[in-house]
Chains A and B, each alone.
Chain A
Amino acid sequence: MTFLKQFLGAAATLALSAGAALAEPAIIYDLGGKYDKSFNEAAFNGAKRWADETGGSYKELEMQSEAQREQALRKLAESGANPIVMTGFAFGDTLNNVAPDYPDTKFAIVDMVVDQPNVESIVFKEEQGSYLVGLMAGMASKTGTVGFVGGMDIPLIRKFACGYVQGVKAANPDAKVIQNMTGTTPAAWNDPVKGGEIAKAQISQGADVIYAAAGGTGIGVLQAAADAKVLSIGVDSNQNYLHPGQVLTSMLKRVDNAVYDAFKAGPDLKPGIKVMGLAQDGVGFALDDDNKALVTPEMLKAVDQAKADIIDGKIEVHDYMSDDSCPVQ
């Protein structure tokens, strides 16, 4: 009996200490996959940067289907991971149900607002970044027609589109923007063939700069644009290198910074809504060796000016999600 007690005690201590050691952060990537060269990859880069700098380790999970969400979340929470960061609006409902069951665990969700006392909701002002690349597209376009290819048709992607159109119109009020969404199911994030076909359709209608906000589908859009020798704009991560000299720029969404900050805060993560806009370096545009020949000094000047004006509040970029409509088409 005593032996058993001792044994149980030892086991309990072991379990406790193991629990403490396991308080490592975790990240869950959404359906696009960890290496989508875009949104989720940016999250991965943030996690990796944290691991490289601190020498710490973290857990990660990739979603394979819609059905896994709740199970994955509960499994990570029960394993003692803290905080748990997840990328993607699709986790919203699940997290809203799961978070109250684990009051001691901190969660962070990107791209969605979840109103729970232990959840940090990180939202980006994509419309601001999209406005800047739209401005560049409007200036770079020779035909006065530019394109937009979205992934799954959701308000978030409409927010990208709306900011983009506002930017294009700021550069050229007469410009025409052709907008397409790839589909209405998650398969729309991984269909480069359809993305390429949509891009070709837009090019045949005169578009000479195409902005793809479509995850893996965007790879096909960029490819079709490069094949047809027109410009394209990447999204989320820096995609300029995919077709050097043919990608005008990329709208950066610094998901990596968001994940890095959340990991750094650890269990002390501050719940609430965190807005990442131009002022917080949460969004921006990419400028590197691959696209510097495409970006003219006038373009750069206009974009820097617009950026300063947005931060000052002189330019107000309309947020599609605030009223589910866009003032310009």
Chain B
Amino acid sequence: MDFATIVEILDSAVRLGTPLLLACLAGLFSERAGIFDIGLEGKMLMAAFFSGAVAAVTGNAWLGLLAGVGGSMSLAFVHGLASITFRGNQLISGVAVNFLASGFTVLIAQSWFHQGGRTPQLSGNGRFEPITLPGAEAVKDVPVIGQIYANLLSGHSILVYVAFAMVPITWWVLFRTRFGLRLRAVGENPESVDTAGISVIRLRYTAVAITGVLAGLGGVYLATGLAAGFVKEMTAGRGYIALAALIFAKWRPVPALGATMLFGLLEAISNRYPNIDLGVITLPIQFMQAVPYILTVIILAGFIGKAIPPRAGGQPYVKER
């Protein structure tokens, strides 16, 4: 395996890991505020559909992005309404969100475009084209550093850079701002936050809205960055893998980057080498596809450190009288 191949695989890992990263950070905000969200898959799917549909009609990927994020946020609002205002079961609400998105997208796509639950193919400005970073062309023949810069760092869609920028921003917001402190507190001990005179309801809605935006970006990237349009069920379980990554990262932003990129790398390797020959045994592709889940189970079982979810997660807050 030469260096160029490694760069190509890493490049593919970045593309495949980015939707996971955005969804994982989305889940991080929600769960840190005490709202479990297994509806990430549905939100991404909804965003993928609306971005694909609006970008196809207007020919503008940015309008598609707005529509996609809007679609995702509307589902986030539904989830918030069910689990915060009406104090419903958060897992059931999340499942409902997934089902709703799965059916709604295909139904509306069929009624708008009559192409059997898909949106028309996007081209030109309807897609987020890869961006070539300054100087990438010039240095691409420089060994190692030039190759990494030109082939790995350059040539991604803008949403990839946004996703990576979100990691330090999330860390800063959560751990260095007053809002972040309150957000984490509301996920651990909402009573004390309430006692301090801060609205638990408002904080949780804010967290859920941020989740909507980030999961929406993930879905938009799928439909307008990686593929060229929406296809039914195109998220293909990425929302669930993002949840696994969130547990793997123990609800922290920087490890979330590591976890999602690791999962992206595993997928990229399995795309490139379906069966890995280790001499003695051959690893089948199924093994590579199962590794993210195996790792998550190992983490959950407490073999490598302990994954402790936010203490108030999953419990609706009832104000004492």
Which A residues lie at the B interface, using CB under 8 A?
33-37, 41, 153, 179-181, 183-184, 187, 190-194, 196-198, 200-201, 204-205, 216, 219-220, 223, 242
Contacts and interface: CB of A to CB of B under 8 A. Distances in A.
A201 B271 contact: yes
Nearest to A200: B12
11 contacts: A180-B271, A181-B285, A184-B286, A190-B236, A192-B227, A196-B227, A201-B9, A201-B271, A219-B231, A220-B227, A223-B121
Nearest to A204: B8
B266 interface: no
A242 B232 CA distance: 18
A197 B234 contact: no
B228 A223 contact: yes
A204 B268 CA distance: 13
Contacts, number: 80
Contacts of A201: 8-9, 12, 268, 271-272
Interface stretch (B69-77, B111-119, B132-140, B193-201): B111-119
Contacts of B31: none
Contact of B232 (A190, A196, A198, A220): A190
Interface residues of B, number: 32
Contacts of A204: 5, 8
B274 A193 contact: no
B267 interface: yes
Interface in B283-311: 285-286, 289
A223 B234 CA distance: 15
B79 interface: no
Contacts of B117: 33, 35
A184 B275 CA distance: 13
Given A198-B271, A242-B121, A191 B228 contact: no
A194 B228 contact: no
B204 interface: no
Contacts of A36: 116
Contacts of B228: 223
B269 to A, nearest CB: 10
A41 B116 CA distance: 9
Closest 10 pairs between A and B when the two form their complex, measured CB to CB: A35-B116, A191-B236, A192-B227, A193-B226, A201-B272, A204-B8, A198-B271, A187-B236, A190-B233, A201-B271
Contacts of B15: 197
A328 to B, nearest CB: 17
